[in-house]
Amino acid sequence: MIRSILMRRMRTMAFLLGLFAIPLMLTGCLSHWFIESETRLQVENATAKYSILSLDVVSLDGSIYSSWIDETILPGERSRVVSADWVGEFKIRLKYTKSADASGDTLVDYRMLDFDGGSMFLKISAEKGSLKYKFR
């Protein structure tokens, strides 16, 4: 009697373990529901009189770079959405000019930015002569 109850319990346990094993096997597929493995980035130039020339990811020592948004963004404009495999924390190089028509000397600004993945909207504004980056 006791043995048969025990057997039934064992069988239930084995069944539950089996049931648990299936989603475990599919863990990769399941995690894709809430973990993004690429970043779709759009940049808005929210400054009044600066023009953005490009946004690149550079190596921490500055020796190599990989271009991400390669497009001139005039004040008030938005770039195209460009998707890339950058998910994590990277060093960003922004090339810009202090003019509303992309003329003049090219200036460079470096930042460490955290990209969570998924659709990201980066708003770049200028406050008292320095650039401010804000994800929205």
Partner 1 sequence: MVMLMRKIFGRALCLLSLATGLALADAIPTGALSAGSAQTRDQQLREIRDVMRGGRGGFLDVGFNYLPLPSQTPLESPYGEHDGFAFRHHFAGFGSGAVARNSQLGALLWFERSGWDGEDFFFFPQYNDFSHVSSMTTWGLTFSQIKYDLTFAGGMQHYNVERVGIVYPEEDDSLYYSWAHLRWNHFSLQGNFYRSNVCFLRLSMDLESRVVYGGQSHGILTYLPNVDFTVYNRSVDRFSADNYRMNWEQNLYGQVLYAELSYDFPDDGFHSAALKYYPDPSRMVAFEATCIRRNKDIDGTDDLLWGGAIEFPFVRFAYNSSYEYENFFHAKGTFIVEFQFNMTAFDGFLFARGGTRSAPLETINIEKKNKDKPPEGDGLIHLNPSELSTSNSNKPKTLEATGIRYEKSGGNEGGK
Contacting residue, 61, 105, 128, 136, with partner 1 by CB under 8 A: 61
Interface stretch with partner 1, choices 8-16, 34-42, 43-51, 100-108 (CB under 8 A): 34-42
Size of interface with partner 1, in residues (CB under 8 A): 35
Q: How far is the CB of 63 from partner 1 (least distance, A)?
A: 8
Q: What is the rounded (10 degree) CA torsion for 58, 55, 67, 35?
A: 80
| Cα 113 from Cα 31, distance rounded (Å) | 24
34 binds partner 1 (CB under 8 A): yes
User: CA 4 from chain center: how many Å?
Assistant: 56
- Alpha-carbon span 90 to 115, nearest angstrom: 8
Is residue 50 a contact residue for partner 1 (CB under 8 A)?
no
Chain position carrying tokens 């190599």:
64
User: Is 38 a residue that touches partner 1 (CB under 8 A)?
Assistant: yes
Give DSSP secondary structure letters for 65-110. Answer: EEEEE-S-B-TT-B---EEES--EEEEEEEEEESSTTS-S-EEEEE
* Per-residue contact string for residues 96-135; x = within reach of partner 1 by CB under 8 A: ----------------x---xxxx----------------
Q: Footprint of partner 1 on this chain (CB under 8 A)? A: 3, 24-28, 31-38, 57-61, 63-64, 66, 84-91, 112, 116-119
